[in-house]
């Protein structure tokens, strides 16, 4: 496949290389491989949720941030699938884990949540890999939230450093529906992520919370879009990340107020901590506006940790390393706190702490 | 937190009456429309170019023919260069006294207030009419300080040729983009300024560019060198009457700011709504130097305008303050670029835009921090006001940060007048109309306060704000 992915909704200067993802993210058209059942685990489904064979046809027009061509590729070549119909409010988290191993080094996963009127669900997806395998994962999650439905999607990507990954999320929200997406992106040699929320229904809302940690030579490429069509729609997109080693990242975040989206509000915030002389961060936060009665804001803070904050924390008895970890935890907690599994949450926090220490010369010195 | 109001805020369109008066067109020479080697040669002949400039123009033409039209900004599909006359010499030579300038041209500049401004508040004026400068003068006081302020043609063919050759299109090479290449091929007119080391020019210089001929292009080149420790405020104004055919402006501004020098470059652009304004401006700032841009974009049909600052020396600094007003039939793609190329450099970009009556305003920016620019800081704030639902306002910033020892902040807001703010002001005794006028005036105020008083008044005349509406 040669089509461009993660395309910026409105292009800018070509020489900046942000109008679409780089060639390292080109998808290779591979033969469909079988995926062993034992590498997919799904928690028992509570009553109120049933597994469907196919995702309902009315969702075909929704598109992920990676792009329609990618979506069709995943749908047609999927070797893992999981489509859930949520009929009522479910309070326990539905968990799915995909393991990449030498026996299953290629994952093409097509997932979906079809939430009926007024239903509620939390769906957690975890993808991890054996250390020795160079895997490839291409996933697409479609969410169709009907009137008043509440859907929370938690995605944990913890692949090894030789795997490549693509992860698209496509969302459609009817009147009063709310969709929350929580993402932790920690692994992969290169990872492309693209979410797109169509807020079509009146008073529908979308919240996206992302954390990432890049080190060594990791490359992350994000394309997150919130399309406001309906009246009084709302989106909040928060991204916090650390770049260390020779890692790099592009974040495209777009709030698009379509004409007619009166009283819509969209907020986007990004915090990037740069650690290391060879990191590169590119941030492209767009606000597109064709409607006057809206409120849009974005804010980005990129650079170092605030030395005065570190100094203050040290004066309260913390070591510099503890102070830095505390400040990073503060940025990551909006995501980590939403992971329902305590042991997984602690495991991720420990991993972040370890990588922070590995990549912070000041911390090593202290 | 959210505050929406139902009443419409009326902001009048820019009053263009004084700009739209046309003079009869009677050039002493003009080339045919279009762009060919023969036309470029004719321009060289007409301007008595030195040999290196003749070669430069032809190379630029080749580049123009090989570089594609930008595919990322407003559509340029209706701009047909074969219909554009790239060189129109007015029927006069350059004068040093207004009394010697032909009556119709002089009257045009009188209406625009240029001679009066010169008398009151300027250290020198250059006035360009179509492709050539018709008036140029510098005050005796500034000249006595060693300040050089002349038209580009005199500089190129006179004692400053070497200085021109060393700097001309070195900051903006013709290979930069298609319209830089076009400029390199057909440029004419513009100003050359040199401020010697340590000299502070206390009152501003101004160049004014007037395009009168229908279907013509204006390609003036402005080259300013502010040497070590010197200071200059340079003001650029431009306008044209409206015609039913397209006009094109593809000027080029190159600013060299020396060590510990400071240059303030202010522009009020008020081209007519048949104008394609594809202008390129760039500054290079040495150690401890400062470039300050003040930019008001009100006219033109389509604009691509992103003044760029290259902070090359340690501790150099840039400030950009800009306002864009896009009304019906306008698509104004404006913004700023800055490259932090040395340690401890600082940039601050603050922009405002207003869209009304179907106008499209796009803020586009780049903040790049190179790996060697440790200790650098950048802050960007852009704010847009939408005044109806037929208009558009887009914000397209890019931050490319390649240095871990940098602090970069970015804020953008889009929306309409806050009802809470109106309510607060009314609670302090203002009428609703006054409150709204106060808020919109405050929105435009950051640029007004950066301009000399006379120009702030001109800008306020340009945006004649009239507020209507009542709570209900």
Compare all CA atoms of chain B with the CA of A247 and give the residue at the minimum distance: B402
Question: pLDDT confidence of A279, banded at 50, 70, 90?
Answer: very high
Q: Is B68 on the interface with A (CB under 8 A)?
A: no
Q: How far apart are CA A85 and CA A56, in angstroms?
A: 9
Residue A362 has pLDDT above 70, yes or no: no
Q: What is the pLDDT of residues A333-343, one digit of tens each?
A: 989 999 988 99
Per-residue confidence band for A321, with pLDDT thresholds at 50, 70 and 90: confident
Q: With contact defined as beta carbons under 8 Å apart, do B275 and B248 qualify?
A: yes
B399 to chain A, any CB pair closer than 8 A? The answer is: yes
Report the gap between the CA of A54 and the closest CA in chain B (Å).
Answer: 39
What is the model's pLDDT at position B470? 23
Query: Which residues from chain B sit within 8 angstroms of residue A10, using beta carbons?
Result: 394, 396
Residue A109 banded pLDDT, cuts 50, 70, 90: very high
CA distance A229 to chain B (A): 14
DSSP A89: B
Two tokens, residue A193: 């992520």
Please state, in angstroms and rounded to a whole number, the distance separating the CA atoms of residues A269 and A252.
12
Question: Distance between CA atoms of B320 and B349, rounded to whole angstroms?
Answer: 5
Among A53-57, A360-364, B169-173, whose mean pLDDT is lowest? A360-364
Residues 6+ apart with CB under 8 A from B197: B227, B228, B229, B230, B258
The verdict on a CB contact (< 8 Å) between A289 and B388 is no
A18, closest residue in chain B (CA to CA): B398
Residue numbers in B near A274 (CB within 8 A) = 401, 403-404, 406
Residue A57 φ/ψ, nearest 5 degrees: -65, -25
**Do the chains contact at B394 and A10, CB–CB below 8 Å?**
yes
Q: Which of B392, B406, B408 sits opposite A290 (nearest CB)?
A: B392
Give the mutation candidate from A11, A12, A301 for the B interface (greatest B CB count, under 10 A).
A12
Quick one: closest CA in A to B337, which residue?
A13
**Do the chains contact at A303 and B406, CB–CB below 8 Å?**
yes
Query: Which tokens go with B242?
Result: 């409206």
Q: What is the C-alpha to C-alpha distance for residues B281 and B253, in angstroms, rounded to an integer?
A: 4
State the nearest Cα–Cα gap between A254 and chain B, in angstroms.
Answer: 9
By CA distance, what is B397's nearest residue in A? A284
- Say if residue A283's pLDDT is above 70: yes
Chain A environment of B405 (Cβ under 8 Å): 303-304
Q: Report the pLDDT value the prediction gives residue B108, as an integer from 0 to 100.
A: 85
Better-scored residue on pLDDT, A179 or B421: A179
d(CA B470, CA B464): 20
Minimum-distance CB partner of A12 among B396, B410, B416: B396
User: Most B CBs within 10 Å: which of A14, A246, A265, A302, as the mutation test of the B interface?
Assistant: A302
Structure confidence at residue B8 (pLDDT): 45
Residue of A nearest to B355 (CA): A292
Please report the pLDDT score of residue A1 as a whole number. Answer: 57
Residues of chain B with pLDDT below 50 are 1-10, 465-472
CB contact under 8 A, B415 and A295: yes
d(CA A366, CA A320): 7
pLDDT at position A364, please? 47
* Cβ–Cβ < 8 Å for A88, A117: no
Q: What is the pLDDT of residue A244?
A: 94
Residue of B nearest to A269 (CA): B411
**Best residue of A223, A242, A272, A289 to probe chain B, by most B CBs closer than 10 Å:** A289
Nearest C-alpha in B relative to A280 = B402
Chain A hits for B72, CB-CB cut-off 8 Å, are 11-14, 19
Interchain contact, B410 vs A285, CB within 8 Å: yes
Chain A environment of B401 (Cβ under 8 Å): 272, 274, 280-283, 302-303
Smallest CA-to-CA distance from B259 within B231, B222, B294 is with B231
CA distance B24 to chain A (A): 40
Kindly state the percentage of chain A with pLDDT values over 90.
77
| pLDDT at residue A265 tops 90 | yes
> For chain A, what is the mean pLDDT?
92
Rounded CA gap, A220 and A187, in Å? 10
Q: What is the DSSP string of A96-126?
A: EEEEEBTTB-EEEEEEEEEEPTT-EEEEEEE
- Chain B residues in contact with A246 by the CB 8 A cut-off are none
CB contact under 8 A, A14 and B71: yes
DSSP structure class, residue A67? -
Contact residues, chain B, for A263 at CB < 8 Å: 2, 4
- In this complex, do A283 and B388 lie within 8 Å of one another by their Cβ atoms? no
Return the structure tokens found at A275: 């650690």
pLDDT reported for residue B407: 93
Sort out which chain A residues have CB atoms less than 8 A from B67's CB and list them. Answer: none
- B399 to A302: CB separation less than 8 angstroms, yes or no: yes
Q: Do A282 and B404 touch (CB under 8 A)?
A: no
Residue matched to tokens 């004068």: B95
């Amino acid at each position: 496949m040669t089509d461009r992915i993660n395309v910026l909704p409105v292009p800018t200067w070509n020489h900046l290389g942000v109008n679409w993802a780089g060639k390292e993210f080109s998808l290779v058209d591979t033969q469909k491989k079988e995926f062993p059942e034992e590498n997919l685990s799904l928690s028992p489904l509570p009553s109120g949720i049933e597994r469907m064979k196919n995702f309902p046809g009315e969702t075909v027009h929704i598109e992920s941030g990676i792009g329609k061509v990618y979506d069709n590729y995943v749908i047609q070549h999927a070797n893992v699938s999981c489509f859930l119909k949520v009929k009522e409010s479910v309070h326990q988290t539905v968990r799915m884990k995909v393991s990449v191993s030498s026996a299953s080094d290629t994952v093409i996963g097509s997932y979906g949540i079809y939430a009926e009127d007024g239903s509620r669900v939390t769906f957690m997806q975890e993808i991890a890999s054996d250390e020795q395998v160079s895997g490839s994962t291409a996933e697409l999650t479609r969410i169709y939230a009907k009137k008043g439905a509440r859907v929370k999607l938690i995605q944990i990507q913890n692949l090894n450093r030789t795997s490549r990954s693509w992860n698209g999320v496509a969302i459609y929200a009817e009147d009063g529906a709310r969709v929350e997406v929580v993402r932790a992106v920690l692994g992969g040699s290169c990872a492309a992520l693209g979410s797109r929320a169509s807020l079509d229904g009146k008073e529908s809302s979308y919240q996206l919370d992302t954390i990432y940690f890049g080190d060594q030579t990791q490359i992350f490429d994000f394309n997150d879009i919130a399309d406001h069509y309906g009246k009084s729609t709302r989106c909040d997109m928060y991204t916090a990340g650390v770049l260390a080693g020779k890692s790099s990242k592009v974040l495209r975040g777009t709030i698009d107020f379509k004409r007619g989206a009166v009283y819509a509000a969209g907020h986007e915030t990004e915090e990037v901590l740069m650690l290391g002389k060879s990191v590169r961060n590119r941030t492209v936060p767009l606000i597109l506006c064709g409607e006057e009665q809206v409120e849009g804001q974005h804010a980005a803070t990129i650079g170092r940790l605030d030395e005065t904050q570190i100094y203050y924390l040290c004066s309260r008895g913390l070591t510099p390393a503890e102070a830095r970890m505390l400040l990073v935890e503060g940025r990551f907690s909006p995501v980590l706190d939403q992971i329902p599994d305590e042991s997984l949450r602690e495991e991720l926090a420990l991993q972040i702490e370890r990588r922070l220490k590995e990549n912070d010369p000041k911390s090593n010195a202290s | 937190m959210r505050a929406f109001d139902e009443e419409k805020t009326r902001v009048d369109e820019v009053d263009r009456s004084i700009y739209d008066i046309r003079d009869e067109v009677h050039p002493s020479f003009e080339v045919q429309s279009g762009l060919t080697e023969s036309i470029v040669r004719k321009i060289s002949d007409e301007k008595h170019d030195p040999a290196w400039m003749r070669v430069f123009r032809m190379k630029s033409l080749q580049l123009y023919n090989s570089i594609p039209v930008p595919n990322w900004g407003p559509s340029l599909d209706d701009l047909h260069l074969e219909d554009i006359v790239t060189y129109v010499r007015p029927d006069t030579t350059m004068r040093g006294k207004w009394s010697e300038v032909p009556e119709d041209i002089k009257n045009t500049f009188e209406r625009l207030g240029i001679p009066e401004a010169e008398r009151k508040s300027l250290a020198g004026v250059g006035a360009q009419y179509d492709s050539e400068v018709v008036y140029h003068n510098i005050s005796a006081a500034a000249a006595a300080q060693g300040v050089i302020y002349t038209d580009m043609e005199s500089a190129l063919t006179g004692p400053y040729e070497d200085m021109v050759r060393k700097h001309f299109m070195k900051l903006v090479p013709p290979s930069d983009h298609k319209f830089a290449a076009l400029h390199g091929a057909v440029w004419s007119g513009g100003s050359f300024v040199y401020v010697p080391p340590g000299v502070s020019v206390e009152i501003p210089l101004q160049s004014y560019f007037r395009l009168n001929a229908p279907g013509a292009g204006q390609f003036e080149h402005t080259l300013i060198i502010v040497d070590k420790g010197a200071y200059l405020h340079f003001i650029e104004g431009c306008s044209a009457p409206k015609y039913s055919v397209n006009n094109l402006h593809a000027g080029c501004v190159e600013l060299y700011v020396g060590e510990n020098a400071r240059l303030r470059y202010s522009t009020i652009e008020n081209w007519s709504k048949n104008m394609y304004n594809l202008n390129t401006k760039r500054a290079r700032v040495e150690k401890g130097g400062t470039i300050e841009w003040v930019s008001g974009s009100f006219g033109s049909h389509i604009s691509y305008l992103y003044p760029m600052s290259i902070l090359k020396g340690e501790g150099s600094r840039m400030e950009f303050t800009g306002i864009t007003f896009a009304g019906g039939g306008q698509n104004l793609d404006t913004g700023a670029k800055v490259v932090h190329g040395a340690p401890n450099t600082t940039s601050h970009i603050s922009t405002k835009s207003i869209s009304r009556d179907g106008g499209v305003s796009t803020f586009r920016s780049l903040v790049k921090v190179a790996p060697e620019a440790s200790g650098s800081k950048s802050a960007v704030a852009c704010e847009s006001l939408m005044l109806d639902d037929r208009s558009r306002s887009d914000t397209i910033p890019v931050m490319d940060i390649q240095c871990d020892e940098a602090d970069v902040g970015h804020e953008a807001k889009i929306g309409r007048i806050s009802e809470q703010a109106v309510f607060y002001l009314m609670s302090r005794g203002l009428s609703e109309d006054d409150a709204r006028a106060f808020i919109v005036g405050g929105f435009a105020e950051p640029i007004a306060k950066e301009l000399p008083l006379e120009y702030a008044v001109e800008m306020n005349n340009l945006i004649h704000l009239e507020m209507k509406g009542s709570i209900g």
